A and B are shown apart, each in its own frame.
Chain A
Amino acid sequence: MRFLLLFNRQSKLRLQKWFTAVSEREKRKVIRDMTVLVVGRPPRSCNFIDWRDLKIVYKRWLHHGGPHGPLLLVIPLVAGAGRYASLYFCVGLEEQDNELLGLEVLHRYVELLDKYFGNVCELDIIFNFEKAYHILDEFLMGGEVVETSKTDLALSIEEADVLQEVQWTITY
């Protein structure tokens, strides 16, 4: 895995994780390319795109009611009323990586966020981006999955949070 990005339909970046050393300029270029590539996909295409020497796996989550609504994993059949905002999760995989597993990784990450924030929405990720990164860092490291158990992972995050709170109240 080379990188993981989160952005919304307006191409605003919400999260970026790079697993190889890339210059700032190159990062900006990749982000620009990804947002154009992914947001521009026709609605019923598959989730894999060939790009340069990588395989891009992306998943679009719709949430109802704008950034305040929870991220839904299934698109509901609601006719007409209600705003939908999209959040795109995308990873850049190398030639030999398994795309289906890449999709699973994205699914799992959303599940983890959902469990932590409780019906996670885009605003949660915006205002608590540090936490989103901490969760990501417990889940992926150096481009590989660290922990496959959801419960173990949630427990580690909880304990680290407690440690953080305790330390803060002691010193200040």
Chain B
Amino acid sequence: MSPTVRLQEMIRVIRSARTQGEERGVIQKECATIRAQFRQADNGGRSHNLAKLLYVHMLGYPAHFGQMECVRLIASPRYNEKRVGYLGAMMLLDENQDASLLITNSIKNDLSHSSPYVQSLALCTLACMGSSEMCRDLAPEIDRLLRNSSSYIKKKATLCAVHMVRKVPELGELFTPAARSLLAEKNHGVLHGAVILITELCERNTQTLVQFREVVPELVHIMRGLVTSGYSPEHTVAGISDPFLQVATNTDSSKTAGSAVLYETVLTVMDIKSESGLRVLAVNILGRFLLNNDRNIRYISMTSLQKIVITDHNAVQRHRGTIVDCLKDQDASLSLALVSSINIRSMMKELLLFLSTCPPELKSHAASGIFNAAESIALCSAGGDVRDETVPNLIQLITSASQLHCYTVHKLYRALVGDISQ
């Protein structure tokens, strides 16, 4: 019987258990068999036993006795056994287990294996659970692969290098020269990885950043190429100034993918110290997002605007109207928070109207938002008038919503304590 059928048979048996207790019984029996088989010599069924154990592990049962079996299978010359062994390693071993160090040597050998699929297994596992020591040990191997291998392996090696740099930042120096030359690759997968690697390198080391500044025109060129030839939405390329204008104005945001690119552009513009023109453009894009039918896009634009309003107050003001309209949306808790941060005075009326018509769960959010705003305004002199107008209205509304009572009293008390002259 082929091993997959036996695994599937076990899965079927487990699924047909009617109670948790029955399931536990079945699994305990299976685990006992698997354990016994692990102890035996090579009996031809090793890979499917481990697969069974992995299934059981996913259901939440302990499986640590399989760790050594993973190590053994990884060292096997047979691809199918290696595959399960590596999968097991990714699921059962992490850097905190002693057994993980034992696979370092196997990984090292497999990185130079003649079959790219074996190399890929090793790379993937290393990128998934490689500890700092493993990374330090194997970094030269990865560097070698970055310079000299097929695109298939290069793209994986690049991401493995990214993992290594995240784990052991000093390795960044080792990878910098190779990273530079990777930008010349045509393969999208490799380019994508290369950009991520370069971003990581620059983030950790300002000197590297200076080095890579000269690379920017190259990146811009690549990006232009992507934009004009029809882009693939998963590309997130870092660049400065001009290309963003191009992408931002030419990208069709009617599909989510286009919006994702636009959003990324906005994020980047905000992150780097761009000139005010670009920032206004970014805010306008976010404003457009607010009108989008897709709820997700409205959500992210609101979260971003919240962050931006601190620095670019005026630009966000322009979109006040749209933000208020969003209050009518069902999932309005965010827009409330946003509204409270920007000029409240003129919007008090609308806010109060909202408070009286919104569903009860949101009332507390709304009330707290309005209170926060009122408190912040109360600090400036003219704010006193606002308080006087709105307080009676608020009180009226709140008396009609009993859940708010104790909350309101609490808040009022705090306000009074902080502002005794009133």
Contact = CB atoms under 8 A, between A and B. Distances in A.
Given A146-B155, A167-B80, A21 B96 contact: yes
A105 B234 CA distance: 8
A118 to B, nearest CB: 17
A127 B8 contact: yes
Nearest to B11: A127
B260 A21 contact: no
A85 B257 CA distance: 27
Contact of B189 (A13, A105, A142, A149): A149
B102 interface: no
A9 B188 CA distance: 37
A28 interface: yes
Contact of B160 (A103, A142, A160): A142
Interface in A1-52: 12-16, 18-19, 21-23, 28, 44-48
B136 to A, nearest CB: 16
Interface of B: 2-3, 8, 11, 15, 44, 51, 54-55, 58-60, 78-80, 83-84, 87, 90-91, 94-96, 115, 117, 120, 123-124, 127-129, 131, 152, 155-156, 159-160, 162-163, 166, 188-189, 192-193, 196, 232-236, 256-257, 259-260, 263-264, 267, 295-300, 330-331
B235 A130 contact: no
A19 B11 contact: no
Contact of A141 (B115, B124, B188, B259): B124
Residue of B44, B51, B192 contacting most chain A CB atoms (<10 Å): B192
A74 interface: no
Contacts of A53: none
A159 B117 CA distance: 9
A144 B159 contact: yes
A126 B11 contact: yes
B232 A100 contact: no
A19 B128 contact: yes
A144 B162 contact: yes
A19 B94 CA distance: 10
B265 to A, nearest CB: 10
Contacts of A144: 159, 162, 192-193, 196
Given A103-B256, A163-B115, A141 B189 contact: no
Interface of A: 12-16, 18-19, 21-23, 28, 44-48, 96, 98-101, 103-105, 108, 126-127, 129-130, 133-134, 137-138, 141-142, 144-149, 152, 156, 159-160, 163-164, 167-168, 171-172
Contact of B298 (A46, A96, A147): A46
A133 to B, nearest CB: 6
A160 B162 contact: no
A141 B156 contact: yes
Contact of B188 (A15, A103, A148, A163): A148
Contacts, number: 148
28 contacts: A18-B94, A19-B128, A21-B131, A46-B298, A98-B263, A100-B259, A100-B263, A100-B300, A108-B234, A126-B11, A127-B8, A129-B58, A134-B83, A137-B124, A138-B120, A141-B156, A141-B159, A141-B160, A142-B128, A142-B162, A144-B159, A144-B192, A147-B155, A148-B234, A149-B189, A160-B120, A163-B117, A168-B78
Contacts of A96: 267
A137 B297 CA distance: 29
B156 A146 contact: yes
B234 A104 contact: yes
A147 B232 CA distance: 11
B98 to A, nearest CB: 14
Contact of A47 (B129, B193, B296): B296
Nearest to B131: A21
A167 B79 contact: yes
Contacts of A156: 117, 120, 152
A145 B159 CA distance: 9
Contacts of A19: 128
A148 B235 contact: yes
A51 B259 CA distance: 23
A28 B60 CA distance: 8
Residue of A99, A137, A163 contacting most chain B CB atoms (<10 Å): A137
B296 A100 contact: yes
Nearest to B232: A148
A149 B260 CA distance: 18
Contacts of A133: 87
Contacts of A48: 296, 299-300
Contacts of A160: 83, 117, 120
A22 B94 contact: yes
A76 B60 CA distance: 34
Contacts of B263: 98-100
Contact of B94 (A21, A146, A159): A21
Given A101-B236, A142-B166, A167-B78, 5 more contacts: A47-B295, A98-B263, A100-B297, A148-B234, A167-B79
